[in-house]
Chain A
Amino acid sequence: MIDLGQHWEFIAATYAGSVLVIGALIGWTWSASRRARTRVARLEAARKARKA
């Protein structure tokens, strides 16, 4: 790893904060997508069962 100089704590905070926010954004997007897909699959199955 390179030496980040005398202001390393600001650089570290910048990247740590960015990783945190982007990680949360990806996690939220993925979990919302998965929840929606699971729910729609359940509803589609129920509709098919009603029609059968």
Chain B
Amino acid sequence: MAQTSPNTHPGWFTRIAHPGMFMGWTRHVVLPLAIATALAFAAGLYVVFFASPPDYQMGDTVRMMYVHVPTAWLSQFCYAVMFSSAIGTLVWRHPMADVSQKAAAPLGAAFTALALFTGAMWGRPTWGTFWEWDGRMTSTLVLLFIYLGIIALWRAFDDQLKAARIVSVVTLVGAVNIPIIKFSVDWWQTLHQPASVFRTDGPTVDFSILTPLLVMTLAFSLLFLTLHLVRMRTEVTRRRIRSLELAQARAAGGAP
């Protein structure tokens, strides 16, 4: 009969799920990721300001798109990460799923706020207004409120495991807003243009404008990945602090 050795190399799921192992392998990943992020931003900003032409219609204001589109993409991608983590928490009770959810929420809020801000800055010279209550902009504002509500919920509970279950349910319910953001430009008459990059029939943007856009999107995505990993590591450390503080209080006879 085959026997399992206790020294068997752990699988990828264990390496992700076990907080100690997660801290071990991510220690070697954070610095290379941070360097890759810095290099991608350096390359991206060079292409944005020195190697890309003005758009034939929008002129130089197209350079705002290189920040607006990546932040808007991350505002939704971050929610997709939280959505997957919420399923991981509720269905599999994955030990790192709620850590991932908690770490992602402030990042999602920041990128959504940036998408709204850069959109407003871009909207003034191109549409003549900073803000319009149209489908895309309003649903993105709702997304920001959802992120802020989720952050507030995390802070409202001392018991983080209980908070994780409640936040997971709210995250799953709030996910209904993501397809609304995506398809709002098709469903309603809006000032916002329809999708021009992520389309089933391929991008409609010229290559000279698509290149800086993709490089900046890569840079922002790497930034998100780096910050998310570091924040997850910090959350695991905080939980370790909590258990050490409890042990310390118990040793001092101050806690049951």
Contact = CB atoms under 8 A, between A and B. Distances in A.
A4 B117 CA distance: 19
A18 B125 CA distance: 18
Interface residues of B, number: 37
Interface residues of A, number: 32
Contacts of B118: 14, 17-18
A5 B60 contact: yes
A3 B217 CA distance: 24
Contact of A36 (B107, B121, B223, B241): B241
B240 A40 contact: yes
Interface in B139-175: none
B67 A14 contact: yes
A13 B118 CA distance: 8
Chain A at the B interface: SS class:
helix
Interface stretch (B5-13, B80-88, B177-185, B230-238): B230-238
A5 B234 contact: no
Interface in A1-52: 1-8, 10-11, 13-15, 17-18, 21-22, 25-26, 29-30, 32-33, 36-37, 39-40, 43-44, 46-47, 50
Nearest to B48: A15
A29 B230 contact: yes
Given A7-B60, A22-B223, A47-B248, A14 B234 contact: no
Contact of A47 (B61, B227, B247): B247
B107 A14 contact: no
Given A2-B50, A13-B121, A33 B233 contact: yes
Given A1-B49, A5-B60, A7-B59, A36 B237 contact: yes
Contacts of B121: 10-11, 13-14, 17
B215 to A, nearest CB: 15
B54 interface: yes
A17 B60 contact: no
B125 A10 contact: yes
A4 B107 CA distance: 30
B68 interface: yes
Given A7-B125, A14-B64, A47-B248, 5 more contacts: A11-B121, A18-B114, A21-B110, A40-B240, A40-B241
7 cross-chain pairs, A with B, having the tightest CB-CB distances, nearest first: A5-B60, A43-B244, A36-B237, A7-B125, A14-B121, A33-B234, A14-B64
Interface of B: 49-50, 54, 59-61, 63-64, 67-68, 71, 106-107, 110, 113-114, 117-118, 121-122, 124-125, 223, 227, 230-231, 233-234, 237-238, 240-241, 244-245, 247-248, 251
